[in-house]
Chain A
Amino acid sequence: MAQVPVTEGVFTWPSETPQLIGARCVACDNHMFPGQSGCPRCTGDKTEEVLLGRRGTLWTWTIQGFPPKAPPYAGDVDVKTFQAFGVGYVELPGQVKVEARLTVADPEKLKIGMEMEMVIIPLTTDADGNEVVTFAFAPVA
């Protein structure tokens, strides 16, 4: 089964070591995710693409306990089979805090400040039978 990213331009794929694609302000070095053309810190209008770090620390988190509405959600919305998933912000040192799904959904196993690493996870299957993947962060073993 072929794997396709949920969108182009948000993370590098395919890749052995996938990275989020952000932007850096040429004037003030502010890092943004996803990429954008203007800088909300210095109001500058020149940014360049930057690949974000793959490791960081968990800044805060929650657990999505009910199926999101579809659309926009592309994953499983069947209340009988829906699996709760973690959501958090991971602080990438010197760059930015990014919001992402977490591979862990157990409150006992999530701690603010723990080390996290970016991974790619399956989200759904599209009409052509491809596995649609998105990015997430997993605790560093």
Chain B
Amino acid sequence: MTIEVAIVGIGMHEFGRTEGVSGMDQGVIAVRRALADAGVSWEDMQFAFGGSLAAGAADTMVSLLGLTGLQFINVANGCATGGSALFSVYNTIRSGVFDLGIAVGFDKHERGAFRVNTKGAGLGDWYGASGLALTTQFFGMKINRYMHEYGITNSSLAKVSEKAFRNGSQNPMAWRRKPISEQEVLDSLMLSYPLTQYMFCSPGEGGVALILCRADKAHLYTKTPIYLKAAVVRSRRFGSFEVLAPSIALQHNAGPTVDGAKAAFEMAGMEPKDIDIAQLQDTESGAEIMHMAENGFCEHGEQEFMIQAGETEIGGKFPVNTDGGCLANGEPIGASGLRQVYENVLQLRGQAGVRQVPNNPKTAYTHVYGAPGIAGVTILQR
């Protein structure tokens, strides 16, 4: 018999900039909020997976939460760190080893674009020295090619940002809570053509924790269990076009998002049309557009119509990034993928307040993407 897995507790520390509170402490606050949400104590946690990129080893938080002797494993998997922690908790419960555990991710990054450690990324010093090791360049180049191939307009790039900041303005946990108009987005500083300042998310701070258990025990902790139907992490295959690549093959391959999405839909026994809402990696506004198609929610190029028609708005046919996404929340690497799941749990529980998606969404999808070509996908169901 397959063991099903449910999310029974969620906790989050506000995203953005919190002076005087370390990244680790933001993770601890998220854990305490998740414990309270599930009505359990830290002593009840049988195991944990956690990670951050820049804010310390997650397992050291036991000295703040309580030295209970639980199994705590650190996860370091770039932009998929949070997703990988969740994947690990999911599979640990499915394997039957433990019944109740927690995934936690947190981070605190310096201001400005990510400073890439070229050695750590397996690249020569010359690459960064020559001015090439910027993730922002990749995003500019990928969407520039995509616009050339599929006719996406600058207006749609700006509309994605406008939507993100509008949704963020309705989210008390978001960093950017001031609406910004399409024209303001277009008129902001050009950082990496065709992407302007307000089309990019910023590295930031925050923490998220999720408590999961065997689905047959979920009623012990919550009246509204949310079932994790799929959790998948994929790395790149030969021929895909990825961030921080000094060269790419002539042969084309679709990339880890496409592979991850296919595997997740298969695992969940669903198709893209079965999904009611989605949180998709929007490192910049073009990424959200490309990821709509890469995850299977439309054909390449169809996004132009969908965005201009408002279909991805909270009240639209297919709401995307209802909490403001990375654009409005910033990107604390360790927490970012878990933030998406947190938002989907709120939406499926009907607890998303003024940004609640109407008509009782039943299924929800998350997708993270990052260096060096990795994607994480989850599918939730009420």
Residues on A close to B: CB < 8 A?
Answer: 6-7, 10, 22, 30, 32-34, 40-41, 59-66, 68-69, 71-75, 85, 87-89, 91, 94-101, 107, 112, 123, 134-135
Q: Mark B122-133, 1 if CB is under 8 A from A, else 0.
A: 001111111111
Docked CA distance A117–B125 (Å): 24
Pairwise interchain contact A101-B132, C-beta atoms closer than 8 A: yes
Most chain B CB neighbours (cut-off 10 Å) among A59, A63, A85, A87: A87
Pairwise interchain contact A101-B193, C-beta atoms closer than 8 A: no
Residue among B130, B141, B239, B247 making CB contact with A62, cutoff 8 Å? B141
Nearest opposing residue in chain B for A132, CB measure? B129
Judge whether B181 is part of the interface by a CB distance below 8 angstroms.
Answer: no
Pairwise interchain contact B129-A74, C-beta atoms closer than 8 A: yes
Nearest opposing residue in chain B for A77, CB measure? B131
**Interchain nearest-CB distance for B109 vs A (Å):** 12
**Interchain nearest-CB distance for B370 vs A (Å):** 18
Chain B residues, Cβ within 8 Å of A123 = 129-131
Pairwise interchain contact B193-A107, C-beta atoms closer than 8 A: yes
Pairwise interchain contact A6-B250, C-beta atoms closer than 8 A: no
Chain A residues, Cβ within 8 Å of B137 = 62, 64, 87
**Interchain nearest-CB distance for A107 vs B (Å):** 6
Stretch at the interface among B111-119, B214-222, B314-322: B111-119
Chain B residues, Cβ within 8 Å of A107 = 193-194
Pairwise interchain contact A88-B193, C-beta atoms closer than 8 A: no
Nearest opposing residue in chain B for A100, CB measure? B132
Docked CA distance A35–B193 (Å): 30
Residue among A10, A63, A68 making CB contact with B190, cutoff 8 Å? A63
Judge whether B150 is part of the interface by a CB distance below 8 angstroms.
Answer: no
Provided the pairs A69-B113, A72-B115 are in contact, do residues A62 and B246 lie with their beta carbons within 8 angstroms? Answer: no
Nearest opposing residue in chain B for A40, CB measure? B238
Chain B residues, Cβ within 8 Å of A34 = 124, 246-247
B interface residue count range (under 10 / 10 to 19 / 20 to 34 / 35 or more): 35 or more
Chain A residues, Cβ within 8 Å of B191 = 65-66
Residue among B144, B194, B249 making CB contact with A41, cutoff 8 Å? B249
Residue among A7, A61, A65, A96 making CB contact with B248, cutoff 8 Å? A96
Judge whether B223 is part of the interface by a CB distance below 8 angstroms.
Answer: no
Provided the pairs A72-B125, A101-B130 are in contact, do residues A62 and B248 lie with their beta carbons within 8 angstroms? Answer: no
**Interchain nearest-CB distance for B286 vs A (Å):** 11
**Interchain nearest-CB distance for A23 vs B (Å):** 10
Most chain B CB neighbours (cut-off 10 Å) among A71, A85, A88: A71
**Interchain nearest-CB distance for A83 vs B (Å):** 11
Pairwise interchain contact B193-A112, C-beta atoms closer than 8 A: no
**Interchain nearest-CB distance for B200 vs A (Å):** 11
Pairwise interchain contact B248-A6, C-beta atoms closer than 8 A: no
Lowest 10 A-B CB distances belong to which pairs? A72-B128, A62-B140, A7-B126, A60-B145, A74-B129, A33-B247, A63-B193, A134-B130, A60-B141, A69-B115
Judge whether B192 is part of the interface by a CB distance below 8 angstroms.
Answer: yes
Pairwise interchain contact B134-A88, C-beta atoms closer than 8 A: no
Pairwise interchain contact A69-B112, C-beta atoms closer than 8 A: yes
